[in-house]
Structure 1
Amino acid sequence: MATTLDDKLVVAISSRALFNFEEENSIFEGGDPQAYMRTQLERLDEPARPGIAFSLIKKLLAFNDTTTQRVEVVILSRNDPVSGMRVFRSGEANAIHLLRGVFTQGSPPFRYLRPLRAHLFLSANAEDVREALAAGFPAARVLTESVLAASQHPHEVRIAFDGDAVLFSDEAEQVFQAEGLDAFQAHETRHASRPLPDGPFKPFLSALHRLQQAGTPAMRLRTALVTARSAPAHERAIRTLMHWGIRVDEAMFLGGLPKGEFLREFEPDFFFDDQTRHVSHAAEHGVPAGHVAAGVANAKP
Structure 2
Amino acid sequence: MPVTLDAHQLVVAISSRALFDFEEENELFEARDDHAYMDLQRQRLDVPAKPGAAFSLVKKLLAFNAEEPRVEVVVLSRNDPISGLRVFKSAAHYGLDIQRGAFTRGASPWRYLRSLKAQLFLSTNEADVRTALAAGVAAARVMPQSARASEAHPDELRIAFDGDAVLFSDEAEQVYQRDGLSAFQDHERAHALHPMAAGPFKPVLQALHRLQQAQIGSMRVRTALVTARSAPAAERAVRTLMDWQVEVDEALFLGGLAKGEFLREFEPDFFFDDQAGHIASASAHVPSGHVAAGIANP
- Report the TM-score, using the length of structure 1 for normalisation: 0.97
Task: Say if 2:295 is the partner of 1:296.
Answer: yes
Which deviations, in whole Å up to 9, do the C-alpha atoms of 1:234-266 show, x marking residues without a partner? 010001001111000000011111111110100
Which deviations, in whole Å up to 9, do the C-alpha atoms of 1:89-117 show, x marking residues without a partner? 00011111111001111111111111111
Q: Distance in 1 between matches of 2:202 and 2:138?
A: 8
Aligned partner of 1:131 in structure 2 is 131
Counterparts of residues 17-166 of structure 1 (less than 5 Å): 17-65=18-66, 67-166=67-166
Which amino acid in 1 is paired with 2:289? G
Which amino acid in 2 is paired with 1:61? L
Report the Cα offset of residue 82 of structure 1. Answer: 1.3
CA contact (8 A) 1:9 1:211 kept: no
Report the Cα offset of residue 145 of structure 1. Answer: 1.1
Q: Distance in 2 between matches of 1:3 and 1:246?
A: 31
Aligned partner of 1:199 in structure 2 is 199
CA contact (8 A) 1:62 1:218 kept: no
Q: Structure 2: give runs of 5+ residues left out of the alignment.
A: none
Q: Distance in 2 between matches of 1:55 and 1:240?
A: 29
Report the Cα offset of residue 208 of structure 1. Answer: 1.0
Counterparts of residues 272-283 of structure 1 (less than 5 Å): 272-283=272-283
Aligned partner of 1:225 in structure 2 is 225
Which amino acid in 2 is paired with 1:266? F
Q: Distance in 2 between matches of 1:214 and 1:41?
A: 42
Secondary structure of 2:51's counterpart equals coil
Q: Distance in 1 between matches of 2:212 and 2:2?
A: 26
Q: Distance in 2 between matches of 1:113 and 1:204?
A: 15
Percent identity between the aligned chains? 67
Q: Distance in 2 between matches of 1:207 and 1:84?
A: 28
Report the Cα offset of residue 179 of structure 1. Answer: 0.2
CA contact (8 A) 1:63 1:215 kept: no
Q: Distance in 2 between matches of 1:161 and 1:148?
A: 17
Secondary structure of 1:73's counterpart equals strand
Report the Cα offset of residue 214 of structure 1. Answer: 1.6
Q: Structure 1: give runs of 5+ residues left out of the alignment.
A: none
Q: Distance in 1 between matches of 2:146 and 2:245?
A: 33
Report the Cα offset of residue 170 of structure 1. Answer: 0.2
RMSD: 0.8
Which amino acid in 2 is paired with 1:270? F
Matched residues, number: 297
Secondary structure of 1:12's counterpart equals strand
Q: Distance in 2 between matches of 1:49 and 1:256?
A: 35
Q: Distance in 1 between matches of 2:105 and 2:203?
A: 29
Report the Cα offset of residue 215 of structure 1. Answer: 2.1
Secondary structure of 1:129's counterpart equals helix
Q: Distance in 2 between matches of 1:101 and 1:214?
A: 28
- Report the TM-score, using the length of structure 2 for normalisation: 0.98
Report the Cα offset of residue 233 of structure 1. Answer: 0.4
Aligned partner of 2:244 in structure 1 is 244
Secondary structure of 1:298's counterpart equals coil
Counterparts of residues 177-196 of structure 1 (less than 5 Å): 177-196=177-196
Report the Cα offset of residue 269 of structure 1. Answer: 0.4
Report the Cα offset of residue 57 of structure 1. Answer: 0.4
The runs of at least 4 aligned residues of structure 1 exceeding 3 Å deviation read: none
Which deviations, in whole Å up to 9, do the C-alpha atoms of 1:20-74 show, x marking residues without a partner? 0000010011110011111111110101000000000000100011x40111000
Secondary structure of 2:50's counterpart equals coil
Q: Distance in 1 between matches of 2:212 and 2:61?
A: 11
Report the Cα offset of residue 4 of structure 1. Answer: 2.2
Task: Say if 2:208 is the partner of 1:208.
Answer: yes
Report the Cα offset of residue 2 of structure 1. Answer: 4.0
